[in-house]
Amino acid sequence: MHDMNQIDKPRTLGDLPTPCLVLDEAQLYRNMDRLQVVADARGLAFRPHLKTAKSKHIARLCADRYGPRAMVSTLVEIEQLRGLGLTDFLYSVAIVPGKFQRVRDLLADDCRIAVAVDSEAVAKSLVAFCRESGAQISAVIEIDLDGHRSGVRPDDADTLCAIGRALNVGGLLLGVMAHAGQSYELSDQVALAACAQDEAKSTALAARTLVADGLPCELVSIGSTPTALSGAPYPGVSELRAGVFVFFDLVQAGIGVCSKEEIAMSVLASVISKNERSGALIIDAGWMALSRDRGTADQVEDLGYGQVCLEDGTILQDMIVADVQQEHGIIKPREGSQRKLPNLAPGTLVRVLPNHACATASQHDRYWVLDEQGHVRDEWPRFSGW
């Protein structure tokens, strides 16, 4: 970690240590406003997923714009973010009994928590724990739309109702939630709209199945950044979720829900040298700064480990981080491109747009926040852990 005491109030990018994470504040606000317009137009409550940002500053911005709801993927996010205007948390990873006590310890009058459940056994264990401890931990049944991870298939009525009945014995059943993870594999707007409609239709089906069995289903929650911004109608849904929309990234640009220019986050790096033999520029940002995520590999435009930009954010078309080592990034023209490698002297600053904002941000301990003139106006700490 850099000794930040060596830097006296940085004002320009040249004052920052490299590699580091920089954030275009004005673009961040535009991205947040865009999602608010979408949620308002659909008349849906919106729950931002804060796993990407992991920042108290951004959590406060979300609370101010969207209200007290938030989704998290780690319990440390609740520990860090409660008391900032967020009072209604949904923990997105299906709960295991070893975490019950930690959830109970976080409960308060201004901190309600709902957890996800995808098995009857865990549902019964949660009810038993709440009876013994006096806690009231609401639960949603996680719906599996694509078979990629945990959850219950929306057409598996027997399992859905068994879990619902088990939770309802303790008065814990809140509803259902789903995530259209398959949307990240799409790049066609027609296919994306169809995916969003299926997300809503399948989750609403699960909700109707519970209601038909005499069970409550107050919350019908769906969401991913691509489907949230698809423009599809969401009948039968009560809540919309998204997370990476605050920053966007190259995967989202490849899907078609944003442009590269709308990506608010980038990694600032310094050119070390030009390797004449390999025809590459070497920078001081490797996988420790950029992550190993290769999310654009299967998209129409494979951008390696990130899109390279000039210091001011101007995109260098077809210039990508083609390979990474721990602390070195290798910049080359994208395969098939006829563009020539730019002549950038050692010490020149570049910015790298991330494939996956969550993965890249997790490599850093703060955001250096830029104003509209590109000056460094603030630093916002990040936290990590589970």
Could you check whether the bond before residue 216 is cis, i.e. omega within 30 degrees of 0? no
| DSSP annotation string for 59-77 | HHHHHHHH-SEEEESSHHH
pLDDT of residue 9: 66
pLDDT of residue 253: 96
pLDDT of residue 6: 44
Confidence at 1, pLDDT banded by 50, 70, 90:
very low
pLDDT of residue 196: 85
pLDDT of residue 276: 87
In angstroms, the CA 192 to CA 194 distance is: 5
Residue 66 tokens read as 């969207």
Checking if the pLDDT of 99 tops 90, the result is: yes
Residue 313 tokens read as 């954010």
Confidence at 368, pLDDT banded by 50, 70, 90:
very high
Checking if the pLDDT of 14 tops 70, the result is: yes
Checking if the pLDDT of 210 tops 80, the result is: yes
In angstroms, the CA 135 to CA 344 distance is: 60
- State the average pLDDT over residues 177-197: 81
pLDDT of residue 198: 87
In angstroms, the CA 86 to CA 82 distance is: 6
Checking if the pLDDT of 365 tops 80, the result is: yes
- State the average pLDDT over residues 281-310: 96
Checking if the pLDDT of 233 tops 90, the result is: no
- State the average pLDDT over residues 120-138: 97
Q: CATH 3.20.20.10: which residues of the chain? A: 44-245
For 276-289, the pLDDT digits (tens) are 888 999 999 999 99
Runs of H (alpha helix) within 245-304? 250-255, 287-290
For 139-168, the pLDDT digits (tens) are 999 999 876 778 899 999 999 999 999 999
Q: CATH 2.40.37.20: which residues of the chain? A: 7-21+264-381
Angle at CA of residue 85, ends 80 and 89, nearest 5° = 65
Confidence at 5, pLDDT banded by 50, 70, 90:
very low
Query: Which residue spans within 254-364 are E strands per DSSP?
Result: 265-275, 280-283, 307-310, 315-324, 329-333, 349-353
CA gyration radius for the chain?
22
> Percent of the chain at pLDDT above 90?
82
Confidence at 231, pLDDT banded by 50, 70, 90:
confident
Query: What are φ and ψ of residue 192, in 5° steps?
Result: -65, -40
- State the average pLDDT over residues 248-262: 96
C-alpha closest to that of 385 among 67, 81, 47, 26? 81
Q: Which CATH architecture has domain 7-21+264-381?
A: Beta Barrel (2.40)
CATH class of 44-245: alpha beta
In angstroms, the CA 321 to CA 291 distance is: 12
pLDDT of residue 8: 59
pLDDT of residue 235: 85
Checking if the pLDDT of 187 tops 80, the result is: no
Torsion angle (degrees, nearest 10) of CA 22, 23, 24, 29 = 180
pLDDT of residue 195: 85
Provide the 10 A C-beta neighbour count for residue 98.
7
Q: Which residues contact 3 (CB under 8 A, 6 or more apart)?
A: none
Q: Answer whether 0.85 is exceeded by the pTM.
A: yes
Report the range of poorest mean pLDDT among 20-34, 55-69, 110-124, 218-232.
218-232
Checking if the pLDDT of 201 tops 50, the result is: yes
Checking if the pLDDT of 205 tops 50, the result is: yes
